[in-house]
Amino acid sequence: MGTNTLDVARLAAMDSREATRLLKSMRAAALEGRRTKVVPRTDIEESWRRMLDSGLNPDGGYRAGLLPLAEVERRRQHSPLSEVLPVLRDALVSVADAAQHIMVVSDAEGRLLWREGHPSVLKQADTLGFEVGADWSEAAVGTNGVGTPLVTGRPVQVFSAEHFVATHHTWTCAGAPIVDPRDGRLLGVVDVSGPLSTMHPATLSFVTSVTRLAVAELRNRHFAALDRLRTVAAPVLCRIGGRALAVDDNGWVAAVTGMPPTDRLALPKSPRSGRVWLPSLGMCTVEPLPGGRLVQVDGDGAGPGTSTARRVMLDLSRPRRCSVTVSGDVGSWTQELSPRHAELLFVLAQNREGRSAAQLAQDIFEDPTRTVTVRAEMSRLRRGLAEVLAHRPYRFSEDVHVEVVRPDLPSDLLPHSSSPTVRLARGRHP
C-alpha cells in the first residue's frame, strides 16, 4: 500500500474536527501496529515508537508530582535561561496572549519553570497539569512540544491526537530547544501552546526564530564576559615567561602568551586548581582568575600530540548528555558532546579503518558532497581530541582502545540523529 506523510499545511487547511478524526485514526493504527495510507510526520512517528517501547499508557492521565516552589526558584536562579527571559517575554508573550496561547519555558529535564500568557488558556492548561513545576518530559507525559524537542534536539509542533496520551488531544503546542552557545549544553525548551482551535502552521517558525534571538543574546553575554576576563588577564600574562592562557569556565580562550592563539581549550568538567593533565597541552598548572582560570603549561610537560592516551569511552547511554572520556597513563578527562560530534564519533567507532570527508558526509547526511561541513566539525573535534583522532582518513588512532556505551533501549541511541549509520544501529541490540 502506498503511503503519504501528513504535513502541517494540510492539517491547517482542514476543518479542525476532520483533522482530529484523521490524527486519531493514525494514532489508533500505530497503537495496534497497523499501517495507514496517510502516515504521521517523522518526528511524531518516532516519538510514538519510543512511547510504545517504553510502555507508557496512551490512555492514562499520569502526572508526576510538582516540584516544590523552593526547588523551582532554585532551578530558575541557576538556569542561564533566566538571562534571556526578557527577550522571550518581549517577543512571545504579547503575541501568545493575543492568539490565546501561553508561553512556557522548561529546563533540560522537562520541568516547567516559567509560564505566562492568556488567563483563560492558563486555566485550561491547569486541567492538563501544564503548570509550573510539572514534568513534561516524554517519559512522563508522552509526545508533546516540550519533551519531544528535548529528545530530538529539533523544533517540534504537535497537534491534537499527535500527542501520545489521549488527555492532551484538545491541545496544540510548538516547542524549540535552546542550546547554550558557550558549551553546547541543552538548556531547555521554549514552547507556545493553546487549544486546538488556535492551531497555526507558522507558530513553530515563529518560536524557532525567537529561540535564535535568545541564543544570540547568550552569545553576546559570553563575548562581553570574555572581554572582561581579557582585561583582568592582560597584566598577569605580561609577567609570565612561558606558555599560558586565560580561559573561562568552558575553556573559551580570552588571551594567550608564548603560543599561537586558539579559540577554545578542552578542559575537564570541573578542573581543580593545581597541576592538571590536559590532553592538548600535557601537564599544566591551573589557577583561578576573576571570571575564569589561568592555565600555565609546565616546562617539563608533554606538548600537544605527545600524550599517552590509551582508552576512549564514548558514552551514548543518556540521549541528551553524550560524552567522551579519554584515559591515559597520567589521568582521564571527560567532555560533553554536541549531537553532531556524538554522531561523528559513533560513526568513526563503527569504522575503525577510517572514513574520508565524503564518506562521513554520506554516513551523516546521506550526501557525499557536504564535505565542507564535515571538515569543519572534525576540525573542532580534533582541537580537544588530537591525541586520539587521526586524519587522512579521519579515524581513531590504532593504539587506542575505543568503547561505546549505548542506551538500554536501541531506539534511544542518538534519537536526534537521522544518520543512516545510526538508524541501522538502532535496529541492533548492543
Listing DSSP states for 62-125 in one string gives --PPPPPHHHHHHHHHH-THHHHHHHHIIIIIHHHHHTT-EEEEEETTSBEEEEEE-HHHHHHH
Dig out the grid coordinates for 356 from the structure: 574520508
Q: What's the pLDDT tens digit per position in 59-105?
A: 876 666 899 999 999 999 999 999 999 999 988 887 776 667 899 99
Dig out the grid coordinates for 214 from the structure: 535568545
Query: Which residues of the chain register pLDDT less than 70?
Result: 1-3, 8-9, 12-13, 61-64, 97-99, 269-271, 279, 299-309, 328-331, 384, 428-430
Dig out the grid coordinates for 228 from the structure: 572582561
Dig out the grid coordinates for 332 from the structure: 582521564
Q: In what order do the strands lie in the sheet with 282-289?
A: 253-257, 244-247, 292-297, 282-289, 274-278
pLDDT value of residue 63: 67
pLDDT value of residue 3: 65
Neighbours of 429 (CB within 10 A): 8
Angle between helices 339-350 and 357-365 (to 10 degrees): 120
pLDDT value of residue 62: 63
Q: Measured between alpha carbons, how far is 248 from 52 in angstroms, rounded to an integer?
A: 43
Contact of 419 with 427, CB cutoff 8 Å: no
Q: Measured between alpha carbons, how far is 247 from 233 in angstroms, rounded to an integer?
A: 9
- Picking from 98, 383, 135, the residue whose alpha carbon sits closest to that of residue 264 is 383
Q: Measured between alpha carbons, how far is 67 from 370 in angstroms, rounded to an integer?
A: 45
Q: Measured between alpha carbons, how far is 383 from 389 in angstroms, rounded to an integer?
A: 10
End-to-end Cα spacing for the chain = 33
Q: Measured between alpha carbons, how far is 174 from 190 in angstroms, rounded to an integer?
A: 8
pLDDT value of residue 304: 39
At a CB cut-off of 8 Å and minimum separation 6, what does 378 contact?
344, 357, 360, 389, 391, 394
